[in-house]
Amino acid sequence: MRQYVVDAFTDRVFKGNPAAVCLPESWPSDELMASIAMEDRFSETAFAMREPEGWRLRWFTPGGEIDLCGHATLATAYAILRFVEPDADVVRFRTMSGVLTVIRRRSDGRDGDDQAGDVFTMDFPAFDLKPTPVTDAMEQALGARPVEAWLGRDLLCVMPDERTVRGLDPDQGLVKDLPGLLANVTAAGDAGSGFDCVSRSFAPKCGVDEDPVCGSGHCHILPYWSKRLGKSTLTAYQASARGGVIHATVGGGRVSLGGGAALFSIGTILPD
């Protein structure tokens, strides 16, 4: 089985969020896909296969299958549009979260085999957020007290400033006890930074302490800031150690997430 490792939401390797992309000729068992994800130890491993109805996409963390993942979708689109369908600029995936469309905007003035500078834009559903009380448990788990808390699929904690977000050193064992699948922590970007918001995403329930750049997390984060700031076009920064930039448009219950990608490696999985 061919596997690509792609860094998403970046234009260079060792930045952004790495994902493994597997393109099998027939579907592996769920047990094998879960084992491959545990072996890879990335926050997500994607499996995509072209079926009669089109491409189908599934995502596995080291802790099991999940219903939505942004960076691994971008990485999968990159692999398919570069190596499988190089003449196409659109790929649609059937997923647990419905049909997801990714559009490639090619960079200008480059060699046809060089993907540097291409931008991939994904159309994702926005999560419905409901306010939830700020608790002492949140403060103890994250190491700082949120000023607001919201709950969709994930928990969204709003901090007073960017410095607080960047300086967090959460207790992952306590984060596991918080509501929601992931714990996304965010604040407004500092004046002059060029970013509307900064965030970090913690996912110990999925076997991942911190997701370097979380697309599905931004389907919570960006609708919040769109409403708060009164704007539909935003630029977000994920302040993990690797870091990553997301360009987004929010509206109509959808979030458009855009970013680059860089190929780290190509390999073959030999499960037998």
Q: Which residues have a catalytic role annotated?
A: 44
- 130, two tokens: 């409901």
- What proportions of the chain, in percent to the nearest 5, are helix, strand and coil? 20, 40, 40
Token representation of residue 30:
């769920």
Residue type, 236: A
The Cα 168–Cα 170 span in angstroms is 6
DSSP per-residue string spanning 114-164: --TT-EEEEEEEPPPPEE----HHHHHHHSS--SEEEESSSEEEE-SSHHH
Query: Each residue of 208-235: b (16+ CB within 10 Å) or e?
Result: bebbbbbbbbbbbbbbbbbeeeeeeebb
Name the token pair of 108: 């200008």
Distance CA 100, CA 115 (A): 22
Give phi and psi for 207, each to the nearest 5. 80, 15
Question: What is the DSSP code (8-state) at residue 224?
Answer: H
